[in-house]
Every structure is written in structure tokens, then in C-alpha cells.
């Protein structure tokens, strides 16, 4: 397992990587504010230098109020409140030039505008991309084509089932060997790093596989996955800022381990019930560099 990128004593925020997070929804039927803010908070807690949040314009102020250290790139909307896909793709293309890694999906919903943005990100070269949450349920990820950029997907079992159906992969049972086989099969199908979340999260590529032995039931909370996404995308951005390259499998593996260790740190003081995702994000700094439990 790789280690966290070093931080020079005379370093500044511009040297620690910039993260882009695309998420949030404000439509007539749904509003999701917390998810992108949680991912941003976790990314900053994991040590990146800057976070740019791309969310619908109508909710940008609310999201930034939850994570005021981030900056905003408002996404245009149609009259119903959904993201205007055509105009939003222009904004996302500009973001591509300003960041070192992108997370797509926290709270994004399943609108046509969200699908258009994901299709754009998958079809052009650019920074490494982490796709999570409703991003995993959008049609562009269900079509057999290679991403033009390094790709990590982070499904929980329900989201994995959707992807497995799209690619004709058997839905895994709960035993570890079945989950490992299924994650590897999906990694081959989409040429990506697959983080199959759950008890003993599996990280798989086309030629590597690893199972986390550390995570506990305290992590089974709303927003836990958003925090994990923020940690992984932060690692990718810091890798790029440090060396000019990314190691997606290593970032996913170390991100999962750090996420588990952050949960363990909270559990040591509070027990296994009642953890909030914001508190989990705030435990990340003490989990960074902890190698207890790594196999």
C-alpha cells in the first residue's frame, strides 16, 4: 500500500492539489445539499489544498455554508430546477482545466442534465474521476466504452447490482470470495478501479485486489460514502500535485483504509452507534498515516 504524499515544510495550498466535486440536486421533487458538502469537507480534511464545488446555482449558498472553505462553480438550471445539461457541460469542461481530480455523484440525482455531464467527463481526457452515488446509476456508465481518464467507481451493494445488470455480471452474495470475483469482473468490464463497499470493502482492478479488514459497523450511516469519496479524490489530487501522475488503485486502497481508521478512532471514544458523517470527516486527519490493520 502506498503512503500519503509528503508535505513540504514551506509548502502552500497551491502545492497540495485541487479537487473538483460535482454534485447536489435542487429540483421540484428532490433537494440534496449535504452530500457534496460532506465530500468537500472530507477532501479538505484529507489534506488537499483546495476544493471547487460544482452544484446547482440555487443551492450553492447552502452548500458553501456547510463547507465554507470550499469555492463554488454554480451550475445552470432549467425552470424545473434540474441541471441544464448543455450549459453545465461547458462549466464542467472549464473545471477540468482547473483541478487535479474530480468526484462526480454525491447528491447529483438522476436527471438528464446529470447524465449529460457524466457522459462528457467519460468521453474526454482529463483528471482522474471518482464516480459515486447516483452517478453510478446514470446511463453513460452503463455503456461499454473505455473512459478517457483514470476512473474509480465506488458502489455499495445496491449500486453494484445496477452495474452488474448492465454488464451481465452475476450479482455477488455476501461472502468475501464472491464479492472479490464480482468486483474484479466489473473492473475488467469498465477498465476501472472498483471499490465495492460494505463489510470488508473490496478494492479491485484488472490485475490487483485487496480487502479491507478494518472497517466497523459504526460506518453504516448516511453520508459515510460521501466521506469516502472525498478522501479518495483528495488523495488523487495530492498524488498529481506531488508527482504529476496518479495511482488510482493505491488511492482507492489507502482511502478505504483511512476511512475505516477514522471510524475506528470515533468508535474508541463513543461506541458503535451515533456517528455522524461530518464527525467522520473530522476524524480523518488522525487516521492519515495510521497503518494499524493494513494487510
> How does pLDDT run along the chain (295 residues), one tens digit per residue?
678 999 989 999 999 999 999 999 998 888 999 999 999 999 999 999 999 999 999 999 999 999 999 999 999 999 989 999 999 999 999 999 999 999 999 999 999 999 999 999 999 999 999 999 999 999 999 987 778 999 999 999 999 999 999 999 988 888 889 999 999 999 999 999 999 999 999 999 999 999 999 989 999 999 999 999 999 999 999 999 999 999 999 999 999 999 999 999 999 999 999 999 999 999 999 998 665 544 4
Query: Taking Cα atoms as reference points, which of 143, 142, 122, 129 lies closest to residue 232?
Result: 129
Query: Taking Cα atoms as reference points, which of 178, 114, 177, 189 lies closest to residue 151?
Result: 189
* Model pTM score: 0.96
Domains and CATH numbers, the chain: 16-287 (3.40.1190.20)
At residue 55's C-alpha, the angle toward residues 51 and 57, to 5°, is: 125
Angle between the N-to-C axes of helices 224-243 and 248-270, in degrees from 0 to 180, rounded to the nearest 10: 130
Please say whether the beta carbons of 4 and 188 come within 8 A.
no
* DSSP structure class, residue 200: T
Report the pLDDT value the prediction gives residue 248, as an integer from 0 to 100. Answer: 98
Report the pLDDT value the prediction gives residue 292, as an integer from 0 to 100. Answer: 52
Amino acid at each position: 500500500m502506498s503512503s500519503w504524499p509528503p508535505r513540504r515544510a514551506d509548502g502552500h495550498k497551491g502545492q497540495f492539489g485541487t479537487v473538483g466535486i460535482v454534485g447536489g440536486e435542487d429540483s421540484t421533487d428532490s433537494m440534496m445539499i449535504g452530500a457534496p458538502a460532506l465530500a468537500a469537507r472530507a477532501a479538505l480534511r484529507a489534506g488537499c489544498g483546495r476544493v471547487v464545488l460544482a452544484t446547482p446555482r440555487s443551492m450553492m449558498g447552502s452548500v458553501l455554508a456547510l463547507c465554507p472553505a470550499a469555492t463554488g462553480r454554480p451550475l445552470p438550471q432549467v425552470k424545473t430546477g434540474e441541471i441544464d445539461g448543455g450549459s453545465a457541460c461547458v462549466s464542467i469542461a472549464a473545471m477540468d482545466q482547473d483541478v487535479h481530480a474530480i468526484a462526480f455523484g454525491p447528491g447529483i440525482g438522476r436527471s438528464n442534465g446529470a447524465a449529460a455531464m457524466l457522459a462528457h467527463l467519460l468521453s474526454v481526457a482529463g483528471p482522474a474521476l471518482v464516480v459515486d452515488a447516483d452517478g453510478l446509476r446514470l446511463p453513460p456508465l452503463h455503456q461499454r466504452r473505455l473512459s478517457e481518464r483514470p476512473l474509480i467507481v465506488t458502489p455499495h451493494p445496491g449500486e453494484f447490482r445496477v452495474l452488474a445488470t448492465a454488464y451481465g455480471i452475476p450479482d455477488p452474495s455476501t461472502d468475501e470470495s464472491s464479492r472479490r470475483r464480482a468486483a474484479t469482473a466489473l473492473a475488467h468490464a469498465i477498465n476501472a478501479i472498483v471499490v465495492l463497499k460494505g463489510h470488508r470493502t473490496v478494492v479491485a482492478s484488472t490485475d490487483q485486489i485487496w480487502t479491507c479488514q478494518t472497517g466497523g459497523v459504526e460506518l453504516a450511516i448516511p453520508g459515510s460514502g460521501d466521506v469516502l469519496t472525498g478522501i479518495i479524490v483528495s488523495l488523487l489530487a495530492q498524488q498529481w500535485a506531488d508527482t504529476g501522475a496518479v495511482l488510482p488503485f493505491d488511492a482507492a486502497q489507502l482511502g478505504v483504509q483511512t476511512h475505516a481508521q477514522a471510524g475506528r478512532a470515533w468508535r474508541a471514544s463513543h461506541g458503535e452507534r451515533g456517528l455522524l458523517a461530518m464527525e467522520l470527516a473530522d476524524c480523518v486527519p488522525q487516521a492519515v498515516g495510521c497503518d494499524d490493520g493494513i494487510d
